[in-house]
Amino acid sequence: MWFTLVILGTLFNTMRLVTGVDGCPSEVCVCKWKGGKQTVECGGRLLSRIPEGMDPGTQVLNFSGNGLTILQSERFKKMDLINLQKIYMARNQLIKIHDRAFRGLTNLVELDLSENMLPVVPTETFADYPALMRLTLSGNPIRTLRTNAFKHLSFLTTLELSNCQIEMVEDEAFIGMDNL
């Protein structure tokens, strides 16, 4: 009986590691407390999708250096990651972000989308996280900043657009951004 319990316990722990039942997709990510925040680091793994199995209490997600091309509608909400405060998605291959990709992330204060393939500022996606304070879009092939491009980001204090290919800034592109 004792031997059976030991075997079952070992199997359970192995399953937790493989499936991420403990709130960490440990096959592809590292989960830890960093800077006082529950952090999941999945950077540099060439992943084409955000892995399942993250703890709902996750506050910081580093998904930089992967192969994500499209960010689907309500992706984080469907994964029950509504407590995210910081998301780093630099150096992916993002070409499109669905208008509602970040829906439900009312605590999001920092978003790094630098060095992707975004041709335009994803204006409508910003409506779902009005508390955003820092946005990095550097290194994307953005050519035009359209009128009201940042209309939903009245609390933004830092906007990084360096190394984009901006050729035109329309009137009122920065309207309502009083904190910059």
Quickly count: other Cβ atoms within 10 Å of residue 103's Cβ.
19
Q: Is 158 helix (H, G, I), strand (E, B) or coil?
A: strand
pLDDT tens, per residue, the chain with 180 residues: 444 443 434 333 333 333 344 689 988 999 999 999 999 999 999 999 999 999 999 999 999 999 999 999 999 999 999 999 999 999 999 999 999 999 999 999 999 999 999 999 999 888 888 789 999 999 999 999 999 999 989 899 999 999 999 999 999 999 988 888
Q: Is 40 helix (H, G, I), strand (E, B) or coil?
A: strand
User: How far apart are the C-alpha atoms of 72 and 147, rounded to whole Å?
Assistant: 25
Q: Is 14 helix (H, G, I), strand (E, B) or coil?
A: helix
Fold assignment, 25-169: 3.80.10
Q: Residue 9: its pLDDT value, please? A: 41
